[in-house]
Amino acid sequence: MAASAAVTANYVLKPPPYPLDALEPHMSKQTLEFHWGKHHRAYVDNLKKQVLGSELEGKALEHIIQNTYNNGDLLPPFNNAAQAWNHEFFWESMKPGGGGKPSGELLALLERDFTSYEKFYDEFNAAAATQFGAGWAWLAYADNKLKVVKTPNAVNPLVLGSFPLLTIDVWEHAYYLDFQNRRPDYIKTFMNNLVSWEAVSSRLEAAKAASA
Amino acid sequence: MAIRSVASRRTLTGLKETSSRLLRFRGIQTFTLPDLPYDYSALEPAISGEIMQIHHQKHHQAYVTNYNNALEQLDQAVNKGDASAVVKLQSAIKFNGGGHVNHSIFWKNLAPVKEGGGEPPKGSLGGAIDTHFGSLEGLVKKMSAEGAAVQGSGWVWLGLDKELKKLVVDTTANQDPLVTKGGSLVPLVGIDVWEHAYYLQYKNVRPDYLKNVWKVINWKYASEVYEKECK
């Protein structure tokens, strides 16, 4: 599934590009039912209510995110807008039968910017494991370089000036039903079994085109 | 199924006043996980035994372990005069030390119903609550609303401002202790609104957790702290 970085202004709760049980046993159907069906849905619904009648109504989601980030002094709609974006991006970062090592140009770039895939793997794992409290870990692209970034709560690389390529949600609700406190096990499972390198590659192409 | 079964077992007797022990390691005082003064399942149905066991044995234990590690590293950095290392350790100390401080208070803020959990505060704290919030219901409504509104992870607190001599409701992010919102603030009741505090039982419905947790809030302990600080 080609993952476009732009989400439309309709603030739609888009379903993941696979059935809710398709990521089992690595991510349970129950988790998807709550995480997508309740958490993500609430961000979308609450965003709609929040921007109704305001100057942000009808604006593209990315516009709302940048505007309400307000250089870190977050305005009220930021949380819902960014989380709506982040979660759609997250579902599209995974696929059934995913994970493992990428190949081709993506692998070459990871080896160029991290020395080896293993070094990237370790750095991404560490970022995800050490983001304290709620947040996300990302592979991002900026200035023709790949880097690992971790962000708190709803913050994402868009507001930090880089192109997101891959993300893992490390809010506790993302893993608690399946892994309880064992976040490192969740991260490893994500990397080994869920990452959609196809999505990452197509986002990288889009990022390079946008930077050209 | 990934959920572990809960073994409800009697913890060590007695409520330890302090969880710290002096270890002969480089002269710094390190910490241990305090025992709960009740069984893991004793707060049911408000909070499940499964949550209590994981919350205490895994989450709080991890804060204690990581706090001790950070303190050892801090000790080394201080002894070497490595200012950068000292500063770099501050966030690990705040996260993990805060986690230990907050959870130690939290276990005392809770009590089984048969040991007074949920019984409204009497004495001077009850009066102060009525004065500042109109009624206990008013306080509960305010704390529940503020707790539900915390974005991400954090705590909602009833505190005493010792300087201004009044009760306050406030929230803190992540594991920031209440004192980070004001040096004269003394925590009386803290409610953990990190998802790990309720997710296995209440899932995404944090407001339901906040509605039910009041049934096991230990107002006797809060009153003791209040009376002591008011002297």
Mutate to test the interface with A, among B150, B204, B206 (most CBs of A within 10 A): B204
On whether any CB of chain A is under 8 Å from the CB of B194, the answer is: yes
Query: What's this model's pTM, rounded to 2 decimal places?
Result: 0.91
Average pLDDT over residues A127-145: 97
Mutate to test the interface with A, among B151, B172, B175 (most CBs of A within 10 A): B151
Domain with CATH 1.10.287.990 in chain A: 29-93
Domain with CATH 3.55.40.20 in chain A: 104-210
How does DSSP classify residue B4? P
Work out the pLDDT band at A5, boundaries 50, 70, 90: very low
On whether any CB of chain B is under 8 Å from the CB of A134, the answer is: yes
Three-state DSSP class for residue A115? coil
For the domain made up of A29-93, the CATH class stated in words is mainly alpha
On whether any CB of chain A is under 8 Å from the CB of B196, the answer is: yes
Distance to chain B for A37, nearest Cα, Å:
10
* pLDDT tens-digit series, residues B152-168: 999 999 999 999 999 99
pLDDT value of residue B25? 52
Residue of B2, B151, B195 lying closest to A172 (CB–CB) = B195
* pLDDT tens-digit series, residues B218-227: 999 999 999 9
Average pLDDT over residues B200-219: 98
On whether any CB of chain A is under 8 Å from the CB of B4, the answer is: yes
Is pLDDT larger for residue A23 or for residue B22?
A23
Neighbouring CB atoms inside 10 A of B164's CB total: 11
Provide the β-strand partners of residue B124. Answer: none
On average, the pLDDT of chain A sits at: 94
Contact A79 B175 (CB under 8 A): no
Tell me the chain B residues in contact with residue A178 when contact means C-beta distances shorter than 8 Å: 2
On whether any CB of chain A is under 8 Å from the CB of B175, the answer is: yes
Q: How many CA atoms lie within 13 A of B23 on its CB side?
A: 12
Work out the pLDDT band at B28, boundaries 50, 70, 90: confident
* pLDDT tens-digit series, residues A149-169: 999 999 999 999 999 999 999
The matching CATH number, chosen from 1.10.10.10, 1.10.287.610, 3.55.40.20, 2.130.10.10, for B45-230 is 3.55.40.20
A contact residues 56-115, partner B, Cβ 8 Å cutoff = 79
Interacting residues of B145 by C-beta distance below 8 A, sequence separation 6+? none
On average, the pLDDT of chain B sits at: 91
- Between chain A and chain B, how many beta carbons pairs sit less than 8 Å apart? 60
pLDDT value of residue B195? 98
Tell me the chain A residues in contact with residue B151 when contact means C-beta distances shorter than 8 Å: 79, 153-154
* pLDDT tens-digit series, residues A25-67: 999 999 999 999 999 999 999 999 999 999 999 999 999 999 9
On whether any CB of chain B is under 8 Å from the CB of A126, the answer is: no
pLDDT value of residue B27? 73
Amino acid letter, residue A143: D
How does DSSP classify residue A35? I
Closest chain B residue to A134, measured at CA:
B152
Please check whether the domain covering A104-210 is classified as CATH 3.90.76.10: no
Q: Write a three-state SS string for A73-104.
A: CCCCHHHHHHHHHHHHHHHCCECCCCCCCCCH
